[in-house]
Amino acid sequence: MGGLLMTEKTLTRMDLAESVFREVGLSRNESASLVESVLQHVSDALAAGETVKISSFGTFSLREKSARVGRNPKTGDEVPISPRRVLTFRPSHLMKDRVSGGTE
Q: Provide mean pLDDT across the span 19-31.
A: 94
Q: Provide mean pLDDT across the span 1-19.
A: 77
Can you say how many angstroms the Cα of residue 85 is from the centroid of all Cα atoms in its chain?
15
Residue 62, pLDDT above cutoff 50: yes
The pLDDT of residue 8: 77
CB-based contact 38:30 (threshold 8 Å): no
Burial class (CB in 10 A: 0-12, 13-18, 19+), 17: buried
Q: Select from 43, 21, 23 the least CA-distant residue to 33.
A: 21
Q: Provide mean pLDDT across the span 34-55.
A: 96
| pTM recorded for the entire structure | 0.74
- Mean pLDDT score of the chain: 91
Higher pLDDT, 7 or 46: 46
